[in-house]
């Protein structure tokens, strides 16, 4: 008996689905910049409570904060100023302005947060793991909306756009170097937990923000 094909059956094609390249709306950008800055600020508050560090300019701000007692928020905002020039020249005006807003938001929230978020006990391991994922998520929100938190994040995103390097891997290397430089100020165990947080954050960003994978700017 001959087997006849059913003309009503629609066989799937193998054509790739085109990426959605529609530009984000203003509301989407505002929501992402606030959410990303909020996630990272919670991470920074946890790190300060647990005595941990992070990389990039935030890490340098933490080192100066621990060494001098100066306000982390103010130090972080000032340190990022030279990086705006690099972002403006090599990445663009929109990215620079959004980065400035994100850094200002993070500085403001980290200044206010300790008044409303107080933790009696926080183990460094918990802070490193949860904080690493929080920071990775926050930076991902910002990166997908053409923003960053300054410093090494600007450099890593530029390297991804220019040379196709994974931003997360670049960020992870820079962060680990910055954290290691603090070994003379911060206890060794806190440095090691901080490196774990940097690896978690960098790996998360490398996995979810690959070159050419997301075009919804």
Tokens of 18: 């085109």
The pLDDT tens digits of the residues spanning 144-192 come to: 899 988 888 888 888 888 888 887 788 888 888 888 878 888 889 998 9
Query: 104: burial class by Cβ within 10 Å (0-12, 13-18, 19+)?
Result: middle
User: pTM here?
Assistant: 0.78
Find tokens 């107080």 and name the residue: 118
Q: What is the mean pLDDT of the chain?
A: 83
217 Cβ contact list (under 8 Å, min separation 6)? 23, 24, 144, 145, 146
- Exposure on the CB side of residue 15, measured as CA atoms within 13 A: 5
Residue-range domain boundaries for the chain: 26-208
Q: How far, in Å, CA of 45 to CA of 43, rounded?
A: 5
The per-residue pLDDT for range 23-44, each reduced to its tens digit, is 888 899 999 999 999 999 999 8
* Three-state secondary structure call for residue 110: helix
pLDDT digit string (tens) for 63-114?
Answer: 888 788 888 888 888 888 888 888 999 889 999 999 999 999 998 998 898 8
* Of the candidates 182, 183, 176, the residue with the CA atom closest to the CA atom of residue 200: 176
What is d(CA 13, CA 197) in angstroms, rounded to the nearest whole number? Answer: 43
What confidence score (pLDDT) does residue 129 get? 96
Question: Which pLDDT does position 81 carry in this prediction?
Answer: 87
d(CA 164, CA 115): 42
């Amino acid at each position: 008996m001959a087997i006849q094909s059913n003309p009503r059956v629609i066989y799937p094609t193998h054509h790739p689905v085109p990426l959605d390249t529609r530009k984000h709306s203003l509301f989407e950008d505002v929501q992402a910049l606030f959410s990303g800055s909020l996630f990272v600020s919670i991470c920074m508050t946890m790190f300060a409570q647990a005595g941990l560090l992070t990389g990039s300019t935030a890490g340098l701000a933490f080192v100066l904060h621990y060494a001098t007692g100066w306000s982390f928020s103010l130090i972080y905002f000032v340190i990022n100023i030279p990086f705006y020039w690099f972002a403006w020249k090599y990445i663009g005006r929109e990215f620079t302005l959004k980065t400035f807003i994100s850094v200002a938001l993070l500085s403001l929230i980290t200044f206010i947060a300790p008044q409303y978020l107080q933790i009696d006990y926080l183990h460094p391991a918990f802070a490193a793991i949860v904080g690493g994922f929080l920071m990775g998520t926050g930076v991902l929100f910002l990166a997908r909306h053409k923003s960053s938190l300054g410093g090494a994040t600007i450099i890593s995103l530029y390297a991804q756009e220019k040379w196709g390097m994974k931003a997360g891997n670049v960020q992870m290397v820079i962060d680990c170097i910055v954290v290691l430089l603090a070994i003379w100020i911060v206890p060794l165990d806190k440095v090691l937990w901080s490196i774990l947080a940097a690896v978690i954050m960098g790996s998360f960003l490398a996995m979810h923000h690959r070159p050419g994978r997301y075009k919804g700017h």
